[in-house]
């Protein structure tokens, strides 16, 4: 079984990029202020990510299920994620997205979304903290959300971005034992983004993972932290292997970061970057990372 633990769907781009509204411009492009970015491949003619297209990719490449993760970069599309889950409950589970700075209103919105079939919470610091860049991840405005997720024992998917996000995550794990944290992209910019201190920070991250057995990592789009490399992204694989050698297979999730990752590699390459370049792993460990862990955590 293969489960994509990190995929995105949205009907149109209506998010935040560098603190500015981001809108789709067709042929995979999007515009924020005066900046135009190639967010998706040009084959995404409407700059959207329909769940029917994701399903076709999954069927084509033998992926059984997917976790639909929202992202404030693309916009708030909870209703569309709910629709996808209702239409294909055997294939999809969907995560909720709210403006975490709304306090008690955010908690109410989360509870409503969970009642409608979504679970957990996704936070991507780069976009979610737009306008609140100096607020720490465990700052006072977010306490109502953290307390709700703790009391209801939610999964929280975190894309940490700033240097101080790592230290805030450590404090959150100590304070809220009812939350199961999934650190996306093996720590992304907060852990791998500083070229000069990367190894030191990553070593500290591995120590943190050893001390916090409830924290899981996903290995989607780790290659984006090494833009000078091409498939099979040998350096990214080195850091993935170090994580595996430190915490084993039961706390690592494979994911693609579809559809944005298609500007870096194909969907098949997203699978094969792990499947074909970690062939020395025991088959049971390979199976756990590619889908077994996600099945146990999110579908069983």
pLDDT digits (tens, 9 = 90+) for 223-280: 999 999 999 999 999 999 999 999 999 999 999 999 999 999 999 999 999 999 999 9
Helix, strand, or coil (residue 238): helix
206 is a domain residue = yes
91 is a domain residue = yes
Q: How many domains does the chain have?
A: 1
Please give the Cα distance from 86 to 94 (Å, whole number): 10
Please give the Cα distance from 261 to 242 (Å, whole number): 23
Q: With CA atoms as reference, report the closest residue to 188 among 111, 134, 126, 108.
A: 126
Of all residues in the chain, the percent with pLDDT exceeding 90 is 100
What's the CATH number where 234 sits?
Answer: 3.20.20.140
> C-alpha distances in angstroms, 293 versus 90, 242, 278, 286?
16, 19, 17, 10
68 is a domain residue = yes
pLDDT at 120: 98
pLDDT at 98: 98
20 is a domain residue = no
Q: What is the mean pLDDT of residues 282-294?
A: 98
Helix, strand, or coil (residue 271): helix
Helix, strand, or coil (residue 104): helix
H-state helical runs in 176-299: 188-192, 198-211, 234-247, 267-275, 283-287, 293-294
17 is a domain residue = no
Contact 100, 106 (CB under 8 A): yes
Q: Where are the beta strands (DSSP E) in 54-100?
A: 65-68, 92-94
Q: How many CA atoms lie within 13 A of 265 on its CB side?
A: 21
42 is a domain residue = no
Q: Strands 92-94 and 65-68, how do they pair?
A: parallel
Q: How confident is the model at residue 82 (pLDDT cuts 50, 70, 90)?
A: very high
Q: What is the mean pLDDT of residues 7-32?
A: 96
pLDDT at 52: 98
26 is a domain residue = no
Please give the Cα distance from 79 to 100 (Å, whole number): 18
Structural domain of 109: 3-10+49-299
pLDDT at 238: 98
Q: What is the mean pLDDT of residues 44-58?
A: 97
pLDDT at 34: 96
Q: What is the mean pLDDT of residues 271-297?
A: 98
Q: Each residue of 186-221: pLDDT tens digit?
A: 999 999 999 999 999 999 999 999 999 999 999 999
Q: Each residue of 84-112: pLDDT tens digit?
A: 999 999 999 999 999 999 999 999 999 99
15 is a domain residue = no
Q: What is the mean pLDDT of residues 161-179?
A: 97
pLDDT at 24: 97
Q: Which residues pair with 15 in a beta bridge?
A: 22
Please give the Cα distance from 267 to 161 (Å, whole number): 25
pLDDT at 115: 98
Q: Where are the beta strands (DSSP E) in the chain?
A: 3-7, 14-17, 20-26, 29-32, 35-38, 65-68, 92-94, 121-124, 155-159, 180-183, 216-218, 252-253
Helix, strand, or coil (residue 121): strand
Q: How confident is the model at residue 181 (pLDDT cuts 50, 70, 90)?
A: very high
Q: pTM of the full predicted structure?
A: 0.97
pLDDT at 277: 96
Which structure tokens are listed for 223? 């290659």
pLDDT at 94: 98
Please give the Cα distance from 224 to 188 (Å, whole number): 8
């Amino acid at each position: 079984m293969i489960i994509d633990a990190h995929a995105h769907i949205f009907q149109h781009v209506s998010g935040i990029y560098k603190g500015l509204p981001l809108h789709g411009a067709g042929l995979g492009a999007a515009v924020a202020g005066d900046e135009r970015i190639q967010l998706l491949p040009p084959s995404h003619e409407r700059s959207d990510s329909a769940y029917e297209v994701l399903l076709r990719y999954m069927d084509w490449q033998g992926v059984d299920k997917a976790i639909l993760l929202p992202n404030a970069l693309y916009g708030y599309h909870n209703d569309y994620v709910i629709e996808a889950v209702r239409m294909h409950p055997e294939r999809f589970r969907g995560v909720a997205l709210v403006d975490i700075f709304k306090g008690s209103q955010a908690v109410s919105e989360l509870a409503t979304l969970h009642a409608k079939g979504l679970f957990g919470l996704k936070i991507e610091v780069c976009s979610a903290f737009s306008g609140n860049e100096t607020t720490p991840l465990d700052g006072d405005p977010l306490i109502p959300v953290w307390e709700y997720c703790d009391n209801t024992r939610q999964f929280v998917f975190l894309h940490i971005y700033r240097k101080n996000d790592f230290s805030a995550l450590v404090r959150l794990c100590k304070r809220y034992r009812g939350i199961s944290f999934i650190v996306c992209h093996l720590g992304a910019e907060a852990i791998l983004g500083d070229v000069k201190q990367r190894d030191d920070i990553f070593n500290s991250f591995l120590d943190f993972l050893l001390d916090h057995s409830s924290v899981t990592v996903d290995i989607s789009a780790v290659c984006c932290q090494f833009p000078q490399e091409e498939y099979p992204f040998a350096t990214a694989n080195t850091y993935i292997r170090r994580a595996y050698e430190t915490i084993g297979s039961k706390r690592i999730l494979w994911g693609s970061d579809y559809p944005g990752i298609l500007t870096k590699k194909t969907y098949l390459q997203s699978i094969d970057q792990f499947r074909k370049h970690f062939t020395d792993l025991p088959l049971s460990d390979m199976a756990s990372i590619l889908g077994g862990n996600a099945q146990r955590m999110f579908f069983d």
